[in-house]
């Protein structure tokens, strides 16, 4: 006879926040936020979203895969440009609704050819200014 284990909301939260099981907390669209951080510099390269398929494909291949909200499908970063993100480590935030990918980038992370998608800052006059490095 199988034993049925009932997990209350409190124990599920406890397991997610304190346990050692990977339990991504997907939003209503089935996504978690993911940021890619350059392993060498520590610089934030990009922000994207992952669904279960993207997480599984990333773990399987070692290269960052994401869910394109605009196209509604899986995509591998660099699949057309060659600017892939080799995933060295996946870190999970406290409540498992965001992921940090520590990566080795093969070229610029941004489709604009900037090293990082975060290449501009908001200036005091309300305009955007390009930032270096």
- Residue-level pLDDT at 52: 97
Does 105 have pLDDT greater than 80?
yes
What kind of architecture, by CATH, is found in domain 24-130? Roll (3.10)
- Residue-level pLDDT at 17: 87
The arithmetic mean of pLDDT across residues 118-128, rounded, is: 96
- Distance CA(124)–CA(89), nearest Å, equals 37
Prediction pTM value: 0.86
- As a whole number, the mean pLDDT across the chain is 92
pLDDT, one tens digit per residue, over 1-44 is 566 555 556 888 888 888 889 999 999 999 999 999 999 999 99
Does 81 have pLDDT greater than 80?
yes
> Residue 16: how many CB atoms within 10 A of its CB?
18
The arithmetic mean of pLDDT across residues 108-118, rounded, is: 94
- Residue-level pLDDT at 82: 95
Q: Which residues does 66 contact at the CB level (< 8 Å), separation at least 6? A: 34, 48, 49, 50, 54, 74, 75, 76, 77
């Amino acid at each position: 006879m199988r034993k049925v284990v009932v997990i209350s909301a409190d124990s599920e939260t406890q397991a997610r926040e304190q346990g050692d099981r990977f339990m991504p907390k997907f939003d209503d669209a089935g996504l978690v936020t993911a940021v890619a951080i350059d392993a060498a510099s520590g610089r934030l390269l990009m922000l994207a979203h992952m669904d279960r398929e993207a997480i599984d494909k990333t773990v399987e291949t070692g290269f960052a895969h994401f869910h394109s909200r605009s196209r509604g499908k899986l995509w591998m970063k660099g699949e057309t440009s060659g600017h892939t993100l080799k995933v060295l480590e996946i870190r999970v935030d406290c409540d498992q609704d965001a992921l940090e990918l520590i990566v080795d980038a093969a070229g610029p992370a941004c489709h604009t050819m900037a090293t990082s998608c975060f290449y501009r800052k908001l200036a005091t006059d309300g305009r955007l200014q390009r930032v270096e490095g």
